[in-house]
Amino acid sequence: MDEPDIESLSFEAALAELETIVRSLESGTEPLDKAIELYQRGDRLKRHCEGRLKAAQARIDQISIDADGKPIGTSSFDAG
């Protein structure tokens, strides 16, 4: 199976693949070796999704809010 590099996946694509893996593992129909491979890829996908969410949250946190709670601007965010 030719799987795409996880780092190149969008959040949505990684989450969709992770959901497919979870359903496959929950079905219990995969042989042990394949189940282990799926679990390992699922773990990497989960970490990728968590990283993307943290980066998005950090970008959101950079939005400046005025006294009325309205966004008034943004400040630079360096994810590095």
- How many domains are there within the chain? 1
Identify the CATH number of the domain in which residue 14 sits.
1.10.287
Instruction: Note the pTM of the prediction, 2 decimals.
Output: 0.72
Residue 79, SS3 per DSSP: coil
Residue 80 in any domain: the answer is: no
In this prediction, what percent of the chain has a pLDDT beyond 70?
A: 82
CA–CA separation, 66 vs 26, rounded Å? 47
The string of pLDDT tens digits covering residues 8-45 is: 999 999 999 999 999 999 999 999 999 999 999 999 99
CA–CA separation, 32 vs 46, rounded Å? 21
Residue 29 in any domain: the answer is: yes
Residue 63 in any domain: the answer is: yes
Range of the domain at 68: 6-74
Q: Which residue has the higher pLDDT, 74 or 31?
A: 31
> What is the per-residue pLDDT for 58?
83
- 9: tokens are 């996946």
Residue 1 in any domain: the answer is: no
